[in-house]
Amino acid sequence: MKILVLGATGYLGRHLVRNLVSGGHAVSGFVRGEVGARTVAEDGAQAVRGDLTDIATVPAVVDDFDAVIMAAQLMLDEEYRLVSAMLDALEGTDRCFVFTSGTSVMSIPTGGDWDERSFAEDEPFVPRRQIAPRLAAEQIVRDAAARGVRAMVVRPPLIWGNGGCQIIAQFYHSARETGAVCHVGRGLNVYSNVHVEDLAQLYRLCIEKGRAGALYFAVAGEVSYGVMAAEIARNLGVPTRSVTVEEACEIWGKGLGGIVLCSCSRQRSPRAREELGWAPDPARLDILEDCRNPAYAAQTDRPAASWVRSAS
C-alpha cells in the first residue's frame, strides 16, 4: 500500500515510517526541506516536498496515495483547515485517512491529585476547555465515513520510549532550571501511556484493517508523575520538589504546566484490542526504564512543544 505520513520527521512520525516500511508498505514522508528529506530517506521512505502552512497545495499531494496519516501537530485552527481540505480531496475514493489527536482533550484538572475516572473509546466525557476545539477536527474525520473516506482517529496517551518522550524531557528540564525534579502538588496525577513502537503498530493496524469512522486508543499502562519525578531525581542525584500550578506554568509554560502536568488523563483501549487485535509488547510496559535513558540528561535545551513545527 502507498502511504503518506505528514509529520514524518517527528518523534512519532519517524517510528511510524519505520514500522510501515518494515510491514512492506511503500512509504513517503511529507517534508519541507533537505534535512527532512534526508531523515525520511534514512528511515527507508521517499520524500514529498511541501509546506503544511500552504493548505491550498496539500490536498493535491494525497492523490497519489492509498492512505494518509496525519501525525503532524499544528495549532488547532490551522489543523482543522488542513484536515478539512484533505478530506475534501479524498471524498468518494474509499482511501484511508488517519488523524492523530491526543488524550489531553480528556484531561481532568486535579492540581496533582489522582482521579478515578477512566474512559474507553466513545465513552462520554467533559472535554478540556482549552483543547476542546480539537474535537471538531476529530468529528469531521469520523463523519467522512459517510463521504466515502475510510477515515478514523487515533487519540494517543503519553508517548514514551527510545529517549524521546517530551514529558520525561520536561522533568529533566525542571531539574536544570531549579536544581530539583518538579511535580505539581502531591504528584499523584497520571496520564495513561504507551511505548512509541507499540503506538506505531496501532497505526499500521488502522491502515490495514481499521473501520471507517472509528476512534482508537492505545493504552499500555499508567504511572504517576510523582513516581516518574522520583525516578528521574534518583537518576540525577537531586531532590524532587512539589510546585503549585502557578509555579508549574513558570517552569514549563501554560500549556504543559497549566494543563498536562497538573491533570489526570486515564483511558482504556478495548476497541483497539478487539477490532484490530492490538496489544502492547510485554517487554515495553515500564516507562520508568525510559526515565533513566541517558538521552534526556544529555539534552541542554528545553524540547520544543509538539505543535511547534521544525524547519525540516
pLDDT in tens, 163-180: 999 999 999 999 999 999
* Alpha-carbon span 27 to 25, nearest angstrom: 6
Label residue 309 by pLDDT band (50, 70, 90).
Answer: very low
- Asked whether 153 and 203 are in contact (CB, 8 A), the reply is no
Q: What is the dihedral of CA 200, 205, 206, 207, to 10 degrees?
A: 100
* Alpha-carbon span 259 to 209, nearest angstrom: 34
CATH code at 2-108+118-161+192-220+266-271: 3.40.50.720
pTM: 0.95
* Alpha-carbon span 297 to 11, nearest angstrom: 18
pLDDT score of 60: 85
The stretch 192-212 carries a mean pLDDT of 98
Give CA 84 to chain center in angstroms.
20
* Alpha-carbon span 156 to 126, nearest angstrom: 18
- Asked whether 36 and 46 are in contact (CB, 8 A), the reply is no
3-state class (DSSP) for residue 108: strand
Q: Where are the alpha helices (DSSP H) in 148-240?
A: 166-178, 196-209, 225-236
* Alpha-carbon span 23 to 181, nearest angstrom: 40
Choice between 60 and 262, residue whose per-residue pLDDT is larger: 262
Q: What is the dihedral of CA 136, 137, 143, 148, to 10 degrees?
A: 160
